[in-house]
Amino acid sequence: MVASTGFSVKQWRRYGHHRLYVDDPQGQTLGWFDLKSRQAHADTAAERTIVAAAATRWMADNGIRPADATVPRQRSKSAATQTPRRFPEKPATPRKTLTATPSGTDLAGNRPGEALMAIARKHQLENRFLRVLARTLRIRTPDTSWRVGAAGERIVGRRLNKLERHGWRILHNVDLPGGGDVDHLLIGPGGIWTVNTKHLRLAWVTAADDALYVRGRRKEYPEAARREATRVAEVLRRTLDRTVSVSPMIVVHGHSRLHGWWRRRPMGVVVLPSWAVRLRLRWHRRVLSPVDVDEIYSHARWSGTWRKP
């Protein structure tokens, strides 16, 4: 049986869910098995087979009938003719659960940089020839800054999306109540993060304890990042009916130099170059369980959650 080659199974029972999470010999989570629907969930078909096999062995060891498991156990001809032995299933402990009701648009379909590109199109030159000529000669036009920002968000967004294989859920361009938006909202084992992307082409950037300096000028980026995180925490607290912690982060891209980011946190905000953001979150200490991540994401992904009450 595949489950005997070093794969470990952990049982999670919370908010009315009953799941088995399967880890490989290196401790990485492959996927999970729902004991109610008897379905395996993983990124690939091979991993789903391993998850189902490991869950089947676990259920057999714990006296749970795996009749509807995705990968059935092999039985001999003599065993097939016998009356199957039935084991009483353990009653599930009732727990309070908050089921997300789909409201509004599903934000999971948002692409990084999409909102800035929509603004750029409104400010672009009407004459197509002049637009092409300006971009060829690198002449700044009213839409240049918006396009530069959108390019940075796309690059950072693609890197963040790779965290999904490690249990993270990523949302892009989340509109906040009262105006403004979050470039990237991350929900995963390392907690909840708001990521503000800054595309600063060839700029010297310095992270100090009280501010972020771009080309020697003080920028209010940390203050804005903290406000975004606070507003997201308020919305999720109201939706989930409990207090949640949201951490702010600024990701800098396209710069020529970023000094002090490894030891400074301007106003408590994490500042990272774009190449380091995935590594930073990949190895962050575990804060949320997979069940918590699924519950929070199921609410955060709908635009109705972010409307004013």
Q: pLDDT band at 15, cuts 50/70/90?
A: low
Averaged pLDDT score across all residues of the chain: 83
Q: What is the pLDDT of residues 21-51, one digit of tens each?
A: 888 777 777 787 888 878 888 877 778 888 8
In this structure, CATH architecture of domain 107-306: 3-Layer(aba) Sandwich (3.40)
pLDDT, average across residues 203-223: 94
Whether residue 20 is predicted with pLDDT greater than 80 in this model: the reply is yes
User: Each residue of 112-143: pLDDT tens digit?
Assistant: 998 888 888 887 877 777 778 777 777 778 77
**Domain-by-domain residue ranges, the chain?**
2-74, 107-306
Antiparallel, parallel or unpaired: β 204-207 and 257-259 = parallel
* Model confidence, pTM: 0.66
pLDDT for 70 equals 42
Strands, E assignment, the chain: 8-14, 17-23, 29-34, 39-42, 169-175, 181-188, 191-199, 204-207, 212-214, 217-219, 246-253, 257-259, 270-273
pLDDT in tens, 247-271: 999 999 999 999 999 999 999 999 9
